[in-house]
Structure 1
Amino acid sequence: MDVKLLEAFRAVVDHRSVTAAAGVLGVTQPAVSTQIARLEETIGFALFERSGGRLKPTPEGLLFYAEANRVLSEVDRLATTTAQIREGQAGRLVIASHPSAAISLLPPLVADFLQSRPGVSVRLVSRHSDVVSQLLPSESFDIGIAELPIDDTAVKLVKYRMRCVAILPPRHPLVSRKVLTPKLVAEHPMVLPVRSQQAPTRIFAAFASAGASLNIVAEAEFFATLCALVAAGAGWSLVDPLSAASFSHLGLVIRPFEPAIVYEIGAFHRADREPSMLAASFLELLEGKLGG
């Protein structure tokens, strides 16, 4: 059934006049009369009777009006939802990420993303990097974020690199130093990312090249745990700059480290289809944060 006919019928009922309905709809009076006649022909019963020079809905017309009004309200709601989807203002976004990104990178980004999108909901799934990268190809999430390496045969991958920073307890002997090096921190107690992750291999290589020794007193899986250990005075550490910034309120002293210890992550989605408009908008926000 033509929605335009229902709209004309509703306007006539609401205004009790073809002329007034035509004005509201922005069409001519004959056009509205023709639409009402077409609608009556389609449904097989009269919708109006004339009373005192005005149109009065028949009993059948009143019943039909209630249903037509309900249908048009749903059409209006659909139009609004369609516009929201088109503009990235409605929908659900599922992001699977490794814990460091879930703790330090994503919370402020998601909050910023949601602030201007009241019709959007986001679900964050936190898993180890190898688990996240193995979830594709599946329908379980829209965007994946994990440490490199990532098998990019089934995904479209964007890689991001960042330099790790050294973090120290507030009263560490080296807080006066502007830049830390393997020679400076050698023998000072260190808390290290677990050796199954990418950072330790690069840390060991840097210290070996400098002929310096590491004094490892603890290891932890997550950068967040390393930050908490350092803040509690367990030792110094090397973490990604986002984690360091997220936990700076604990009193961490953050310093550049030479030579560069590079930390790499990747954001990805399925390669066999384009991301949703919502996912594309979030990936653009992520690029603005990590790109360059």
Structure 2
Amino acid sequence: MHLTLRQLATFREVMRSGSISQAARAVGRTQPAVSTMVQTLENQLGFALFERSHGKLTPTPEARFFLEECEDILGRVERTERTLERISALQSGTLKIACHPAASSVFLPRLLTRFLTGREELAVSFIMRSSGVIEDLIASQQYDLGFSETPAPRPSIRQSDYDLECVCVLPWGDPLASASVVTPQDLDGRPMAVLFEEHLTAIQTEEAFRAAGCRFNKRLELRTFLPGLQFVAAGTCVMVCDMITAYSHILQAPEGAALAIRRFRPRISSSVSILTPGYTTQSMAGQAFIAELKAAVAGVEREINTLLGPP
């Protein structure tokens, strides 16, 4: 016995309407075709579904029982079709995202908020972790997407790398706020906030001062640059930080409380990457969000460079 969904749907319409002609109109087929389909269905089942008398159809008890089964089967199929439509429209599914601290407070949540608009049934798991932990989460396929500092390449991870330059953040009223470029000579001996000494940006910054023969005054050592913005605003220090942290400040700074963001030379590199598992296929929702994330990272670099002016 090989029943088809079309047979079941046609039988259901006949039962609902009580008429071959009305069922034919509902399913978009001719009346003879529907009559033939019902007879074929009865032959396959081995019992009558209708009693025929004077052109009228009267369902048998077996037909009423069979209708319950058809309703259950067709209901599941229709629910599945709706689910697949939502998945195709990126409105349903799951997405697990791990993000490093610099982008986790403002940049990525804002982007994710826009992405989720109109996608009420798309479930998201969003966590903040250090870049090293994110790398392991992606390599082990526990998360769909990671946004972190650039790791060393490995087969279990696909990555798109972005080499963003660091910028100098100063109190708005600082005399250096009028400069287009800030150098180690300008900051000679001034208190600075930097990341922990093993971090690449801290190493590069200290080396830039050493090469220029300037005193590197590390007053505050931080795990992330975000709290450093408050110290700079209070006049406690200045800071050479990553571009995304500076951009996050621009997005959320109250009116009149903006910090001065200036280009720093020599160039200090801060590389970030979009990471995905190397041995799995990304979902359609994941692919769509990655496309928006790539555009957003490019937008950050474009906007900051417009603010900073020519290099």
Question: TM-score normalised to the size of structure 1?
Answer: 0.90
Specify the code of the residue in structure 2 equivalent to 1:247.
H
Specify the code of the residue in structure 2 equivalent to 1:253.
A
Distance 1:223 1:124 in 2: 20
Name the SS of the counterpart of 1:135 in structure 2: helix
Q: CA deviation at 1:136?
A: 4.1
The structure 1 segments of at least 4 consecutive aligned residues displaced by more than 6 Å after TM superposition are: none
Give yes or no for contact 1:193–1:226 (8 Å, CA) kept in 2: no
Q: CA deviation at 1:186?
A: 2.0
Distance 1:13 1:214 in 2: 86
Q: Which of 201, 204, 226 is the equivalent residue of 1:202?
A: 204
Q: Which of 261, 270, 281 is the equivalent residue of 2:288?
A: 281
Give yes or no for contact 1:170–1:253 (8 Å, CA) kept in 2: yes
Q: Which of 36, 39, 44 is the equivalent residue of 1:37?
A: 39
Residue number in structure 1 paired with 2:308: none
Residue number in structure 2 paired with 1:109: 111
Q: CA deviation at 1:170?
A: 3.5
Residue deviations 1:130-181, cap 9 Å, x none? 1111234323111122212333232111111112121123443433333322
Name the SS of the counterpart of 2:142 in structure 1: coil
Superposed, 1:117-128 pairs within 5 Å as: 117-128=119-130
Specify the code of the residue in structure 2 equivalent to 1:143.
L
Q: Which of 272, 275, 278 is the equivalent residue of 2:279?
A: 272
CA gap of 1:179–1:52, structure 2 versus 1, over 3 A, is farther
Residue deviations 1:241-260, cap 9 Å, x none? 22222223152222222222
**Percent of aligned positions with the same letter in both sequences?**
34
Q: CA deviation at 1:53?
A: 4.1
Aligned residues: 292
Distance 1:35 1:204 in 2: 82
Residue deviations 1:261-287, cap 9 Å, x none? 121011122222332222222221122
Name the SS of the counterpart of 1:272 in structure 2: coil
Name the SS of the counterpart of 1:183 in structure 2: coil
Residue number in structure 1 paired with 2:62: 60
Residue number in structure 2 paired with 1:138: 140
Name the SS of the counterpart of 2:264 in structure 1: coil
Question: TM-score normalised to the size of structure 2?
Answer: 0.85
Residue number in structure 2 paired with 1:21: 23
Superposed, 1:73-112 pairs within 5 Å as: 73-112=75-114
CA gap of 1:213–1:51, structure 2 versus 1, over 3 A, is farther
Specify the code of the residue in structure 1 equivalent to 2:143.
F
Distance 1:164 1:139 in 2: 31
Instruction: Note the residue ranges of structure 1 that are not aligned, 5 or more in a row.
Output: none
Instruction: Note the residue ranges of structure 2 that are not aligned, 5 or more in a row.
Output: 302-311
Deviates more, 1:229-238 or 1:157-166: 229-238
Distance 2:233 2:67 in 1: 69
Specify the code of the residue in structure 2 equivalent to 1:46.
A
Give yes or no for contact 2:100–2:128 (8 Å, CA) kept in 1: yes
Give yes or no for contact 2:167–2:264 (8 Å, CA) kept in 1: yes
Residue deviations 1:23-82, cap 9 Å, x none? 221112122112222333333443333467443333332333233223212211101212
Specify the code of the residue in structure 1 equivalent to 2:201.
A
Distance 2:41 2:94 in 1: 39
